[in-house]
Chains A and B, each alone.
Chain A
Amino acid sequence: MKALRAFWFRPEMRRKMKFQREADPEWAQQVAQRPGCEGLFSCLQCGTCSGTCPLSIYMDFAPRRIIGLVREGFREDALGCQTIWLCASCYACAVHCPRQIRITDVMYSLKREALQYKLYPRRFPIPVLAQEFYGIVSDRGRSSEFWLVLRMALHSNPLQLLTLIGTGWRLFRTGRLSLHKEQIEHVKELQAELAGRRGT
């Protein structure tokens, strides 16, 4: 059914119910086959993951709901949310889960898919950081904090650099900020090792 045109001037009103045609159960099956995501369907929705997660209080969907969304095949909701990016990989959910679901690894898997299909929230700095980090390490084999932060800020929110000046100065003064671009000796070999091995 086409959306009623009258909703154009009430953009805050959004349909919350789902039609079953919007679910992609095959995708759910496919996610459950990825390494680390096996336990997906044994989830009993107890909420231990959300309860133990230090960041769930800022998430649009708590981790439990992400598992619920994935399991039922609501791909775009699961991949387009901020939750998966807020996950700091502290593994608290994974070790507390009474079904031993490796929720952190599920989050990683969703992050990768969201990046691959460009479904991640725009101008959200965490995927930008990930991509910059990836770029630097792929080029040089090591990361250099100063250059990483600089590149991330430039690509997400240049104004942020102003707020970093104080911290940067304090680090510089104590000899903890190196402007040197770290690089490994055998960077060519590393690149050969990695070449053509992209999965997701």
Chain B
Amino acid sequence: MSEANGGIRIGVYTCHCGTNIAAAVDVESLAAYAATLPDVVVSREYKYLCCDPGQDLIRQDIADKRLNRIVVAACSPHLHEHTFRGALVAGGLNPFYLQLVNIREHVAWVHEDRKEATRKAEDLLRAAVRRVARHEPLEPGRTPIHPDVLVVGGGIAGIHAALTLANAGKRIYLVEREPTIGGHMAKFDRTFPTLDCAACILTPKMSAVKAHPNITLWTYSEVTKVDGHVGNYTVKVKRWPRYVREDLCAGCMECLEACVYEEARVPDDFNLGLTKRKPIYIAFPEAVPQVPVIDPDTCIQFKSGKCKKTCIDACGERHAISFQLQEKTEEIEVGSIIVATGFQVFDARRASYYGYGVYPNVYTALEVERLVNASGPTGGEVVLRDGRAPKTVGIVHCVGSRDENTNRWCSRVCCMYSLKLAHLIKERTGAEVFNFYIDIRTPGKGFEEFYQKLLNERVHFIRGRVAEVTDWALDPTEEGKLVLRVEDTLASLVRRIPVDMVVLAVGLEPHPDAPETGRIFNISCSEEGFFLERHPKLAPVNTFTDGVFLAGCCQGPKDIPDTVAQAGAAAAEALALIDAGSVETEPNTAYVIAEVCSGCKTCIPLCPYHAVTFLDNEKKVRIDQAMCRGCGTCVAACPSGSIRQHLFEDEQIFEEIEGILAYA
């Protein structure tokens, strides 16, 4: 031990984390055990090491006891490695003389037997003490931040984030998969609980996106590849051809009129199949951009090549329509990314006992959103498929939510949108409306008051999850109706309630391709499939990949106010990153011992970051320290053992292993 002033001097600090750790691990005996280990000068336990007095404790000991290595047994390094490195710096030590032992997630939270758990903690601690003795001082690297930002998804989350950043003077690429931006919100008529018009508040923002000089809007496009790291991402965007050139189209829509299809025949996705569209169409009148799309699956020209192409004639001198347009890929450089890819609604057919797709008068809530919408298929009139106005309506809550057989989570918005629809249906038709709920959840500003308003409007609230929707009739009053069978759990009665219309309050779920999207952006999904935030409380818009942020329902179900708040937060995080100009990077990079390198090039194709280059003159490889992300692949692969990695030196790892195995 040849440390300058008196060899290796280790301080060990064990955290109670309140009762998080202390309840499952005997912290006192663990600290006493640590004191017995070689080179340990001081060992302490403390209630919350992450708080200021805890940090001070470490700083003071460094000064008083001339410590030169620190081991902290606490929570995951994800959470507080940065904090404790700060304490070392404050005490005048190199921050990489720290080793963390995760005795919360790896011990306390996963074991029940206190004695065994404590023993495991001792083993891990012993390994860390031996490892830290081999630590060396390192300097963190710095990476500059490219100021442009990519926003993925053009729903209200993406729109809000893009506008916030663009208004701050940053260049934004907004990429949307659909032919128009607007997302789900564009389909709504009113928003709860204020009942203000969704279009009135959304369409100005959509136009602003189109008009903003700092925003490049790419609709009908998809991100296919992301390379690089925080500050310097290279992104490939695939752009499908609309067959109508955005730069030439004036948005007159004469081509739609002129299409050889006199009647619209194709189910219209935007209206969920409640209306039909032509092969050349625009999703809805306020769509942005105001450029039609040709659907090659139904267009006669694409199917047979024998169309009269009346659309081209109608376009005339502008020549905006071209059947020759090809898919193309754009490549852009950005410094940070905001993922706002949204959600999909639960497929009501999966809850087959509610008869969606079997009985025509069973609707999903999103379909009814279109029905009540003034610019929807019925001009805002709530009518059944046969044109009758319903006299009784049953709204079934929690369809595809809170159910182990489908989705376990509460979708958060269904209670409130069901109340909103109940109000609108009653207002438009005077129908008697029944809400069937398990629990009414109204924990937002003005939500509870809205619930009270509906109670006073004499909307029925029956606490019970509907068991089935069928058309079998037990008596004449049920003939020709849909019958809901439900236990009214508050009155303790099983009831049969005949209605004309059933509305299924379908829940929100992740896009089925979310895992694939996650792989592109190197972010992970939580158990239910939504993107995982870095910390549920303290880093709700960050991900585990630096420079990639989340906004909106891709992170979990939420309503419009929460989505907008989160989008603003994501934009602020991106701005903070850009303003800092550069970020510190972990110095856990790989490096080559040139004398030993045989120049076999095994490592070159393995590096996912293209950080390894071959030096032709010297016949050896070199690793670019700025590009290396410390994954360790080359280190493991090098046949001559000439690649090594900072913070993962062989000696450090061997000491750690021996420490674990040295049964005390």
Contact = CB atoms under 8 A, between A and B. Distances in A.
Chains A and B directly touch (beta carbon < 8 Å): yes
Interface of A: 44-53, 56-57, 62, 64-65, 96-100
Interface string B220-252: 000000000000000000000000000000000
Given A45-B489, A46-B464, A48-B465, A98 B403 contact: yes
Nearest to A39: B404
A58 B353 CA distance: 23
Given A52-B467, A56-B494, A47 B404 contact: no
Most chain B CB atoms below 10 A, which of A47, A50, A52, A65? A47
A129 B561 CA distance: 61
A98 B404 contact: yes
A145 B442 CA distance: 57
B353 A51 contact: no
B353 A100 contact: no
Contacts of B438: 44, 46
A61 to B, nearest CB: 8
Closest 9 CB pairs of A and B: A51-B467, A47-B487, A50-B487, A52-B467, A46-B465, A98-B403, A47-B464, A47-B489, A46-B438
B466 interface: yes
B487 A51 contact: yes
Nearest to B406: A98
A96 to B, nearest CB: 6
A100 B403 CA distance: 8
28 contacts: A46-B398, A46-B465, A47-B464, A47-B487, A47-B488, A48-B465, A48-B466, A48-B487, A51-B466, A51-B467, A51-B468, A51-B487, A52-B467, A52-B468, A52-B485, A53-B494, A57-B494, A62-B487, A62-B492, A64-B487, A64-B489, A65-B492, A96-B353, A98-B398, A98-B402, A98-B403, A98-B404, A100-B404
A96 B465 CA distance: 10
Most chain B CB atoms below 10 A, which of A56, A98, A99? A98
B365 interface: no
Contacts of A45: 489
A51 B492 contact: no
A90 to B, nearest CB: 13
Contacts of A52: 467-468, 485
Contacts of A97: 404
Given A51-B486, A52-B485, A64-B489, A100 B494 contact: no
A98 B465 contact: yes
B439 to A, nearest CB: 8
A51 to B, nearest CB: 3
A97 B353 CA distance: 12
Interface string B483-512: 001111100101000000000000000000
A48 B494 contact: no
Nearest to A96: B467
A100 to B, nearest CB: 5
Interface residues of B, number: 21
Most chain B CB atoms below 10 A, which of A44, A51, A64? A51
Contacts of B402: 44, 98
A50 B468 CA distance: 11
Contacts of A98: 398, 402-405, 465
A173 B655 CA distance: 89
A54 to B, nearest CB: 10
A33 to B, nearest CB: 17
A70 B486 CA distance: 22
Nearest to A61: B492
Most chain A CB atoms below 10 A, which of B398, B403, B439, B487? B487
A62 B494 CA distance: 8
Nearest to A68: B489
Interface in B433-492: 438-439, 463-468, 485-489, 492
A46 B405 contact: no
B405 A47 contact: no
A68 B379 CA distance: 47
B603 to A, nearest CB: 50
Interface in B572-629: none
A47 B398 CA distance: 13
Given A47-B465, A51-B468, 19 more contacts: A44-B439, A46-B398, A46-B438, A46-B465, A46-B489, A47-B489, A50-B487, A50-B489, A50-B494, A51-B464, A51-B465, A51-B486, A51-B494, A56-B487, A62-B487, A96-B467, A98-B402, A98-B403, A98-B465
Interface in B385-444: 398, 402-405, 438-439
Contacts of B464: 46-48, 50-51
Nearest to A45: B489
A47 B487 CA distance: 5
Nearest to B484: A51
A64 B494 CA distance: 11
A19 B485 CA distance: 34
Contacts of B404: 97-100
B543 to A, nearest CB: 31
A7 B232 CA distance: 85
Most chain A CB atoms below 10 A, which of B398, B464, B465, B466? B465
Contacts of A51: 464-468, 485-487, 494
A46 B462 CA distance: 11
A51 B354 CA distance: 13
A98 B396 CA distance: 14
Contacts of A62: 487, 492, 494
A98 B409 CA distance: 11
A44 B437 CA distance: 12
Contacts of A56: 487, 494
Contacts of B403: 98
A62 B488 CA distance: 11
Contacts of B487: 47-51, 56, 62, 64
Nearest to A58: B494
A106 to B, nearest CB: 16
A48 B466 CA distance: 6
B337 to A, nearest CB: 37
Contacts of B405: 98, 100
Nearest to B438: A46
A100 B467 CA distance: 14
Contacts of B353: 96
Nearest to B463: A47
A45 B438 CA distance: 8
Interface string B152-172: 000000000000000000000
Contacts of A48: 464-467, 487
A48 B438 CA distance: 10
A125 B398 CA distance: 40
A49 B488 CA distance: 12
A81 to B, nearest CB: 13
A97 B467 CA distance: 9
A68 to B, nearest CB: 9
Contacts of A46: 398, 438, 464-465, 489
Contacts of B486: 47, 51
A57 B466 CA distance: 15
A51 B394 CA distance: 15
B600 to A, nearest CB: 56
Contacts of A99: 404
B562 to A, nearest CB: 24
A44 B402 CA distance: 10
A99 B401 CA distance: 11
